[in-house]
Structure 1
Amino acid sequence: MTYPDDWRDKARRVRLLALDVDGVLTDGTLHFQSDGQETKSFNILDGLGIKLLQQNGIAVALITGRESPMVSRRAEALGIVHIVQGREDKLVALNALCTQLELSLEAVAYCGDDLPDLAAIRAAGLGLSVNNAPDYVREYADWIPTRPGGQGAVREICDALLNCQGRWDTCLAPYLEGQG
């Protein structure tokens, strides 16, 4: 895999990947059942990518403007302990998380897809968006994966971070040996 040198340098410093949920971990579609229950679809590829990051010392956080028990359930299944829901002020939430984790923004990759994410994308050491985000959001990102949000974009980000940090071969080895 090849990445621009400046992007690679920023990716090497990342210790936290913070993600918006709707439009990044999902395709942004909201499903409501007749009883008012909300459902969301998450991509399994993204889930394994998140687990690989965590196994390699990169923390993952979710910062979302909506409150959803589905987000809590997915985060629990993936072992994500840093979850901020119901916050449109994504940069304020990200700064608080950085203070809690004793990280500088330079050590953070943030991926979002819409206007509430813009300040966090711009402030993070590595600002990311998804290719189905509006142009005026994507233009502020350092890098954009080829896959859309909810369809493997997060996995592409995870794989790229692991590759740039020289950890990809270690991640791949157990699967090549049938131990993954």
Structure 2
Amino acid sequence: MTLDTPLKDSHLTDRLRHIRLLALDVDGVLTDGQLYFQADGIEIKGFNTLDGHGIKLLQRAGFTVALITGRDSPMVSHRATSLGIKHLYQGVERKLPKLRDLCLQLGLSLDQVAYCGDDMPDIGAIRHAGVGITVPGAPDYVCQLADWVTQREGGHGAVREICDTLLKAQGHWDAVLDTYLHGAH
């Protein structure tokens, strides 16, 4: 499987062209899914810089990015702020109702959403989004419901893979590359 695998499926590529919102679970998608606690109980999470840069590239191209997570963590708030993500929802056990509310707020349909999650609380959103995505470490039943299973693991570039693929599907890739190859603004 290569990074371009989703683009080799013409039906999926057509659906990717309509995406305006990328909504992501956090643990297991933006992180490796491990929970680390210091002796004083403070939680620590590791985030991949490739994923963060991909999110920034998507936002520059006009996409909206949202985080919808079941846990409530100051680390996630800090990460969302550092990436300029305005739509952060923590402590959400059932993701689909929150995703529907966000779509109403933004004037979007679920067909315009790509959602990536990795566990049971995510399956409604994965199933009803325009493009439902999961990561290789997700349980089999989650993978079976998804339109696309990323090549990269959560916390190890899966979100960057999604971002790059969306940029390619919507014709933004050459401009992104040009910015970095030639210093265009």
Answer yes or no: same fold by TM over 0.5. yes
Q: 2:8 aligns with which of 3, 8, 30?
A: 3
Report what 1:23 is aligned to.
28
Q: 1:157 aligns with which of 155, 162, 182?
A: 162
Unaligned runs of at least 5 residues, structure 1: none
* Cα distance between partner residues in 2 of 1:168 and 1:139: 29
* Cα distance between partner residues in 1 of 2:41 and 2:95: 27
Letter paired with 1:76? T
Report what 1:88 is aligned to.
93
The share of aligned pairs that are identical, in percent, is: 62
* Cα distance between partner residues in 2 of 1:58 and 1:73: 20
Report what 1:126 is aligned to.
131
Aligned length: 180
Show the 5 A alignment for 1:68-147.
68-147=73-152
Residue 63, structure 1, aligned to residue 79, structure 2: no
Letter paired with 1:161? L
Report what 1:12 is aligned to.
17
Measured on the aligned residues, the alpha-carbon RMSD in Å equals: 1.0
- After superposition, give the CA deviation of every residue in 1:74-111 in whole Å (9 maximum; x if it has no partner): 00000000000000110011011111111000000000
Letter paired with 2:20? R
Normalised by the length of structure 2, the TM-score is: 0.95
Alpha-carbon offset, residue 9 of structure 1:
0.6
Unaligned runs of at least 5 residues, structure 2: none
Runs of 4+ with deviation above 6 angstroms: none
Alpha-carbon offset, residue 178 of structure 1:
4.2
Q: Alignment partner of 1:54: what SS? A: helix
Normalised by the length of structure 1, the TM-score is: 0.98
Letter paired with 1:68? S
Report what 1:42 is aligned to.
47
- After superposition, give the CA deviation of every residue in 1:6-38 in whole Å (9 maximum; x if it has no partner): 110110000000000000000000000001100
